Amino acid sequence: MSKKLMITCDEATTISDKDQYGEASKMEIFKLKLHLMMCKHCRAYSKQNTYVSKMLGDYLDSGLANDKLLEKDKKEMDQKLKSQIKEASKK
């Protein structure tokens, strides 16, 4: 087991993805938080990733989900994502 605390951006995005599904260990989460304090790009990725997962989860939970997204739903999600990305990039 590696004792290094600093992780790369690639490792941070992988841990961020794992964390969303409850698959990251406590040590991985600690390393991710340490990395996010210093890396605005990974911080933005993590926020966007969380937002996309929540938005899609809300859509699927709404009972409106079909086998395919409706065109109006695609446009609405696209607008929300662009807005979220714009907000995240300001910070």
Note whether residue 69 is domain-resident: yes
Note whether residue 52 is domain-resident: yes
pLDDT > 70 fraction of the chain, expressed in percent and rounded: 86
Higher per-residue confidence, 14 vs 54: 14
Write down the pTM of the prediction: 0.68
Res 33: pLDDT: 95
Return the minimum-mean-pLDDT range out of 15-24, 66-75, 78-87: 66-75
Alpha-carbon span 55 to 61, nearest angstrom: 10
Note whether residue 4 is domain-resident: no
Domain count for the chain: 1
Residue 89 has pLDDT above 50, yes or no: yes
Note whether residue 25 is domain-resident: yes
Note whether residue 75 is domain-resident: yes
Domain that holds residue 58: 9-90
Alpha-carbon span 45 to 85, nearest angstrom: 9
Res 49: pLDDT: 86
Note whether residue 3 is domain-resident: no
Note whether residue 38 is domain-resident: yes
